Chains A and B, each alone.
Chain A
Amino acid sequence: MTRLTVDGAALGYADTLVCEDVSVQIPDGAFTVIVGPNACGKSTLLKSLTRLLPPTRGRVLLDGRSLHEMPTKQLAREVGLLPQGPVAPDGIRVVDLVTRGRYPHQRLFAPWSPEDETAVGEAMDATGIRHLSGRLVDELSGGQRQRVWMAVALAQQTPILLLDEPTTYLDVSHQIELLELCRSLNRRQGHTLVAVLHDLNQAARYADHIIAMKDGEVVATGSPGEVITESLVSSVFGVDARVIPDPESGSPLVVPRWPHAV
């Protein structure tokens, strides 16, 4: 079952065409991860799943309707996006920033309601930042800040959540924290998640479904076990590696070959 699909889309910015003809289906209720080398079009594909990047050809569909024909607020109640490197205004407190996420649900003459309050509270609980609620965002660490941004996206209460490189600037411990949060959102609350991740092994561990891209094309889709093979790692990433079962999670573990004497 898929609600969100891309159908033969051509995607690009200004004068550059990044993806010529790409089609994917995002499985419902699963944690999908898009992987690939730099500049392969991962972020571009992710952005096309929102209104940010309209396709020059082809369509992006939600429940069979083209995204770009839907009213923006309605789409924002179904699909949430956490973009890369979001900007927090100076001097804003955590709770105020999370409240921004309620925008799609607020109407012109009702700027605040009990539902808003509940949603904000739940979002902060889910990301474990409730105790930081009154603090200034500027004062938080990178890991805490990223969790705040997750809370903003969660406050939107969308069934589908897109994350553009959410772990890239975080410490390893925070990366794992965030990925565990994503997993629990998926498993326990049934959100459909689509994330762009750099780390192939993390992707293998946490994803239910992987989309591998190279040079603007989707080269493989499927479960981690199906997609992450030695031949794919070699052809897509150009790395000569062994793929063994992860001793902790059982998912594929990519181990680059060591050309020197041990």
Chain B
Amino acid sequence: MHAQNAAVGSAPDTLVSGADPRPSATRPHHRRRWLGLLVLAVLCALALAASMLVGSRFVAPADVLHFLVHPDPDDAVSQTIWFSRVPRTVLVLVAGAALGVAGALMQAVTRNPMTDPGILGVNAGASLAVVVGLAFFGVTDISQYMWWSFAGAMITSVLVFVIGNTGTARGNPVRMTLSGVALGAVLSGFTSAVLLSNSEMLQRLRGWSAGTTASQPLDATLAIVPVIAAGLAIALLSSRSLDVLSLGEASAVAMGAHPQRIRLVALVAIALLAGGATAAAGPIGFLGLLAPHLARMIVGPHQGWIMAYSVLIAPAVMGFADVLGRVITAGEVPVGIVTAFIGAPVLIYMVRRYRVSEV
């Protein structure tokens, strides 16, 4: 039996480590990483540019540049840019980066590469808190309900962590994933219940609850920036500790780290990031799964680099997904739906390819 647990405990480490265990101090790797970062920055910029240009109507780049500098409230194109494109693009950048890094943190803390805030129900918890705040506590402004979102995300993260990582389930990544999924289902069920009984709320929140970039004005998006920035800062500062944590509980303690403290800090950062992103854009899943996964394939098991890459990869994916959603049908497909369609096959591919040990 103990052998079984040991095998399970080591499998996620192997999975998180990815394919490249070489030491980081060698020159060519460093150069390769910076190069990769540059390439991704360009890709991200392209995605954001596409977000500015593409939509129900295509706006010429020249117009974009002109009206960004000289906004003209009387011109329809200028209005489109300032009231639709700019808020959406800023949200893509901010929420995307937040979700990407939240996913990286989650995977590091749980030592499980197949998690993200959506799968583990954190987004569902944040959404429920927002809906409850709006429906029963008369909260209206995003600067207020983003704290509800944060609280919901925090409580859910802690719950999933305790259920999935203690007692008989200790160290079992599948158990934690399942706990998160099932808990997410409970919380979504409650959210549905509230919305079903309140048709006005249902109408207002329909778009948001699918995960979209289109429901917030610019100042609302900017309101969550400080929260996201705080989360990102905490995440980046924890990256060294998380590297140590990935060696396993015992080794981490032997190196003088405090695993529980590291995890708690990480959970706070996850709550800030996922909570902030969900408050503005609604629950969007799979970005937190995809971005760190791709990052890890390129840079290997180094949290700092993974987070830096995720900050660029996630908005890029989200931006392209959002643009895709705008053009793919006559109506608009919310970005949350597009990311599910991109992310789910990736998850299926991941689980088919890696030999996850039988639990």
- The interface of chain A, by Cβ under 8 A from chain B, is 84-85, 87-88, 90, 138, 142, 145, 168-169
Contact = CB atoms under 8 A, between A and B. Distances in A.
- With most chain A CB atoms within 10 A of its CB, the pick from B1, B3, B4, B7 is B1
B168 A90 contact: yes
B70 interface: no
A87 B3 contact: no
Contacts of A168: 3
- A-B pairs, top 6 by smallest CB distance, nearest first, are A85-B3, A169-B3, A85-B4, A87-B4, A88-B1, A169-B2
B2 A142 contact: yes
A150 to B, nearest CB: 15
Given A85-B3, A85-B7, A142-B2, 11 more contacts: A84-B3, A85-B4, A87-B1, A87-B4, A88-B1, A90-B168, A138-B1, A145-B1, A168-B3, A169-B2, A169-B3
14 contacts: A84-B3, A85-B3, A85-B4, A85-B7, A87-B1, A87-B4, A88-B1, A90-B168, A138-B1, A142-B2, A145-B1, A168-B3, A169-B2, A169-B3
B204 to A, nearest CB: 46
B294 to A, nearest CB: 25
A90 B1 CA distance: 11
Contacts of B7: 85
A138 B167 CA distance: 14
Contacts of A169: 2-3
Contacts of B2: 142, 169
Interface string B1-33: 111100100000000000000000000000000
Interface in B249-308: none
A166 to B, nearest CB: 12
Interface of B: 1-4, 7, 168
A117 B346 CA distance: 51
Contacts, number: 14
A172 B245 CA distance: 34
Nearest to B7: A85
A87 B4 CA distance: 8
- With most chain B CB atoms within 10 A of its CB, the pick from A85, A145, A168 is A85
Contacts of B3: 84-85, 168-169
Nearest to A142: B2
A83 B94 CA distance: 52
A85 B4 CA distance: 7
A166 B168 CA distance: 25
Contacts of A85: 3-4, 7
Contacts of A138: 1
A143 B126 CA distance: 48
B130 to A, nearest CB: 38
A137 to B, nearest CB: 9
A178 to B, nearest CB: 16
Contacts of A142: 2
Nearest to B168: A90
A130 B64 CA distance: 83
Contacts of A88: 1
B179 to A, nearest CB: 17
A142 B7 CA distance: 17
A260 to B, nearest CB: 30
Nearest to A145: B1
Contacts of A90: 168
A201 B130 CA distance: 67
Nearest to B355: A14
Nearest to B359: A87
A92 to B, nearest CB: 12
A173 B38 CA distance: 61
A135 B152 CA distance: 44
A147 to B, nearest CB: 14
B255 to A, nearest CB: 28
Contacts of B168: 90
Contacts of B4: 85, 87
A88 B7 CA distance: 16
A87 B5 CA distance: 10
Contacts of B1: 87-88, 138, 145
A113 B309 CA distance: 65
A145 B168 CA distance: 18
Contacts of A87: 1, 4
A100 B318 CA distance: 52
B173 to A, nearest CB: 17
A168 B2 CA distance: 12
A142 B2 CA distance: 9
B356 to A, nearest CB: 14
A38 B3 CA distance: 17
A90 B7 CA distance: 18
A88 B5 CA distance: 12
B167 to A, nearest CB: 12
A19 to B, nearest CB: 20
A145 B2 CA distance: 11
